[in-house]
Structure 1
Amino acid sequence: MKSQTQPYRIAVFTPHIDGEYFGKILSTISVEAQTRGSQLTIIQTQINHPHDEPNEHPVFIDQCDACIVILDGIGSSTAQLIAQTGKPVVSIGHVQPDIDCHSILIDNTGGMKEAVLHLIDHGHREIVFVAFTHQQDQMERFQAYKEALAERGIPYNPKLVCYVSDNLQGEERRPYLCSWRVVFTLPLSQPVQTVMPSDSYPPGMNIMQELAENWRS
């Protein structure tokens, strides 16, 4: 039986521990855990996310009281081991296919569709979609992007879609982004009317300024 003086121990399995997305989630979890007197242990399960498979070593499962999984932070075998313990699990940003647990998800479909329809209703027709579509939330947003175009009778143009190898912004996107007037790059981090920036940019790269100068020219 758990001692009343022993803190509630939560294990967080995450592909990454820094950056705009993972950093904000982890810092928020940490604050909430401290507020409630809980002990937090964060386990990074990938080195080169999103290209790596999660590490399948079941670290800290026996020592924790509950688990939080961010995106695809665990693999199938680890998920099954956690399920066998009967400990509560919460998944963030991902539906875990191998374990019955609660998931915290955003309305990717509704949010993206509303944004695209807003741009179309303001007269925009050539709307570029730039994303790493192997991630669950981005696939949902991509489908909503196409549904919004169809709803307004605009044919889907695959030439306006830029598939990238990860979900971070890089120098190789610069010429493509600056050649269009309306661009979606994902994940969405700020609700900007015509451009939605990605998680991060290389040092010295100001894509927002470059886009603005390109549009004025």
Structure 2
Amino acid sequence: MPTAPVTTVKALGFLREKAAGDTSGPPVFRLSNGVLDRHRDRVRPASISVEEYNANNVLLWNHDDCQPAIGTARVYRDGEEWLMEPSFDLIGDLSKEVAAKVTAGTLKSCSFKFVIDGYEPNAEGGLDYTAVRVVEVSITNVPANQESLRLKNNTPPTPAPEDTTPPPPPPSKALEQADLDAVSALLDEKLAPIVAALQALTDEETTEMEEPAPPAPPPPSEAELAAKSFTAVLQGRK
């Protein structure tokens, strides 16, 4: 029966294929997906623990821990896959070179080193790892898992622009003749008292205007004029 060492390195990760024409956003690698690798081994998705790695999440080149780290990585589970999103610090030539080759698509694979806490033999002649602790993640040249490829660029979806077009007005309904007749009858009924009152006022004003004026008094006679003059003379002598 095969036995496992205390620690091992599994090149299980490939760079996810990015969408056509998509050059934005950080790359995302498939770190592990539970399939059988070229060594007939399998790392079950539920067996992987990243708590220890997250405390010191350095990203290395080809598992060379004698070289300074080229950046950091975020390792997380997505369903039955474990994904790795690298962040290159671009400090030093090695980090810049590896980052550029990942962007160019020359380097497509990654792998991780883990401590084995549990395993069992599988029917294919290898081992199924039932409990492992990830301690290191690397960008590599060649993986062990042929299905582990770069998946994509992790670019958040662009929200659709808000539609500011005002909604169209509701369709208008042309009134039919029966509707027009009903409206006209209702208006006639409501306006009848007002029309009657206005007509009464108009009739009253017309009647007042048609009444004959009183006759003018006749002019005074000569005798009346002479009497008025005599009376005025007498009053002046007093």
User: What range describes the TM-score normalised by the shorter chain of this pair?
Assistant: under 0.3
More helix by share: 1
Q: TM-score, normalised by structure 2?
A: 0.20
Q: TM-score, normalised by structure 1?
A: 0.21
Name the larger-Rg structure: 2
More strand by share: 2
Larger RCO (CA under 8 A, 6+ residues apart): 2
